[in-house]
Amino acid sequence: MSTSRPAPPPHEHLAERLHEAHGRIAKQWLVRLEAILTVNRSEVFPSNQLLDHIPDLIDHIASHLESPAETGIAANTAVMSKAAELGALRYEQQASVHQLLREYQIFGEVLHQFIEEEVAVADPPIPAADALRAIGLLTGAVRRLEQQTIDAFVARYTQTIEHQTEQVRGFSRFVSHEVRQPLSVLHVLVKMLPVRALQPDGLRLFDTLERNVARLTDVVNQLERLTRLSPSPEDGPGEQEVRLAALVADVSRQLADMASTRGVEIVVAEDLPSLVLEPGRAELVFVNLIANSIKYSDPAKPERYVRIETVAGARWPTVIVRDNGIGIPANRLESIFQQFVRAHEQRDAELGAHGLGLGLAIVRECMEASQGSVTVESSEHSGTTFTLVWKLAPTQ
């Protein structure tokens, strides 16, 4: 007597179908994109690697739907890197933020349509609550990827603006310096001219010369004032006052399912400083550090935690991210912030932790871009402490 295979839970069934259809869904999205793109589709995805990017992205979203606690999109450095690559590429193609938002809106619509179609034909029927949860997870994943893409796009835009601004300042400095000397000579000549001996026509010419020398002097003075103006950190593009306590609390909510699955408690101090910095970079720092603490928690310990605290009395605003996980081997500490370096790759299967070794490299780059630094102290079997220091004045 044959026995039928029991039906998988609804969320696993939908994830399985999404895995199977990821190529078809990617094509649907690309077809709809052709109607709004300002460049040929092949120019948006000019290589096989990027042509595989979208199906691979959908595959990761399916894994997130299947097991959100294990595959948090925000902690998946490979997927987040791909989303950032897309933002940089669309900037090079002179797309707009409006276009990027529209492209991701279409991406979300295609995914939602797929879920609706699957729910409509599912046998046995999928409960409404499970369908709504699946759509919620998809929406959250798409929004997080959209944010990463736009952050990368805006970062490139900001770099261009800063470069152009410096070019303008350099030109102003050059002009004011080069014009100042001959202008001084003209000033002396104007004063030395025998005005009383001039005929009426000569007086009119002298008056014109004097007025234009005065005007040119005023222009040079304005250029010099502009070159002395130094940009304030508060006015930097993309920077704003960030309450780290609120930001880290939000990151903790993003990673709550992942932490719950591994029995890890996330504790966020309420007295974390407020700083003027780029919030996207700050979020990446804490997403990667907290996710790592969760992934490399020690399953042998009855209590597992990651604590984010401020260091009182430090010269500069300082925050530590401390856990009691498995720690980092001493021979890996010096290289841990390099790209593609992983401290525990041999224990992936045991810990259920996978990655490319990019997370801590991203943390280092984000801190350096925010006038900060990151250091690490760790002891195997005892835990790890990351220390974040920003050479910025706190706003509170």
Please report, rounded to a whole number, the percentage of residues in the chain having pLDDT higher than 90.
Answer: 20
First to last CA, the chain: 73
pLDDT at 231: 45
d(CA 347, CA 350): 5
Q: Each residue of 50-95: pLDDT tens digit? A: 455 677 778 878 877 777 655 567 767 777 887 888 888 878 877 7
Confidence at 339, pLDDT banded by 50, 70, 90? confident
The band of 346, judged by pLDDT with boundaries at 50, 70 and 90, is low
Which tokens go with 304?
Answer: 């597992």
Taking 60 as the threshold, does the pLDDT of residue 135 lie above it?
yes
From the list 390, 383, 284, 292, the residue with the least C-alpha distance to 341 is 292
Q: CA–CA separation, 62 vs 66, rounded Å?
A: 6
- Region 359-378: mean pLDDT is 91
Q: Which fold has domain 10-161?
A: Globin-like (1.10.490)
Task: Quote the pLDDT of residue 68.
Answer: 64
User: Helical H runs in the chain?
Assistant: 10-20, 22-33, 41-44, 48-51, 53-66, 77-92, 97-121, 128-192, 200-228, 244-254, 256-261, 279-295, 348-351, 359-369
Please report the pLDDT score of residue 48 as a whole number: 45
8 A C-beta contact, residue 73 and residue 79: yes
Q: For residue range 203-220, what is the model confidence (pLDDT) as tens digits?
A: 788 778 778 777 777 666
Nearest residue to 240 via CA among 362, 359, 154, 360 = 154
Question: With the C-alpha atoms ordered 80, 342, 337, 282, is the resulting torsion angle positive or negative?
Answer: positive
Domain ranges across the chain:
10-161, 171-232, 240-390
Q: Is the pLDDT of residue 390 over 90?
A: yes
Has residue 14 got a pLDDT over 80?
yes
Dihedral sign for Cα 211, 213, 214, 220, please. positive
pLDDT in tens, 153-189: 888 877 777 777 677 666 666 666 667 677 777 777 7
What is the per-residue pLDDT for 32? 80
pLDDT confidence of 235, banded at 50, 70, 90?
very low
Question: Among residues 270, 267, 272, 266, which one has the least CA distance to residue 242?
Answer: 272
Please tell me the predicted confidence (pLDDT) of residue 324: 95
Per DSSP, the three-state class of 213 is: helix
Predicted confidence band of residue 319 (pLDDT cuts 50, 70, 90) = very high
CA gyration radius, the chain: 29
Closest to 155 in 3D by CA, of 103, 60, 53, 83: 83
Pick from 178-192, 308-322, 377-391: least confident: 178-192
- Binned at pLDDT 50, 70 and 90, residue 233 comes out as very low
pLDDT score, position 44: 52
Tokens 């928690």 sit on residue: 297
Higher-confidence residue: 85 or 371?
371
Q: Is the pLDDT of residue 125 over 70?
A: yes
The yes-or-no verdict on residue 326 having pLDDT over 90 is yes
Sequence-separated (6 or more) residues with CB below 8 Å from residue 348: 354
The architecture (CATH level 2) of 240-390 comes to: 2-Layer Sandwich (3.30)
Mean pLDDT, all residues of the chain: 79
**What pLDDT score was predicted for residue 338?**
85
For the segment 294-310, the average pLDDT, to the nearest whole number, is: 94
Q: Do domains 10-161 and 240-390 have the same CATH topology?
A: no
Burial string for 124-151 (b: 16+ CB within 10 Å, else e) reads eebeeebbebbbebbebbbebbbbbbbb
Spatial separation of the C-alpha atoms in residues 99 and 196, rounded to whole Å: 69
Instruction: Please give the C-alpha separations between residue 345 and each of 139, 172, 349, in angstroms, as whole numbers.
Output: 31, 54, 9
- The lowest-confidence range among 2-11, 73-82, 359-368 is 2-11
Residue bearing tokens 């944010």: 147
Given a contact cutoff of 8 angstroms between Cβ atoms, the answer to whether 323 and 293 are in contact is: yes
Q: Label residue 238 exposed, middle or buried (CB < 10 Å: 0-12, 13-18, 19+).
A: middle
- When pLDDT is cut at 50, 70 and 90, the band that residue 335 belongs to is confident
Nearest CA to 250 out of 261, 266, 234 is that of: 266
Q: Which amino acid is residue 329, in one-letter code?
A: P
CA distance 293 to 339: 18
Interval 379-383 mean pLDDT: 90
Amino acid letter, 277? L
pTM for the model? 0.54
Of residues 34 and 101, more confidently modeled:
101
| pLDDT tens readout for residues 253-277 | 888 888 998 999 999 999 999 999 8
Residue 41 clears pLDDT 60, i.e. is over it? no
Amino acid type, 235:
D
Specify the higher pLDDT residue, 350 or 314: 314
Q: Give the C-alpha separation, 133 to 270, whole Å.
A: 31
What pLDDT shows up at residue 2?
47
- Min mean pLDDT across 21-30, 157-166, 348-357, 370-379 is at 348-357
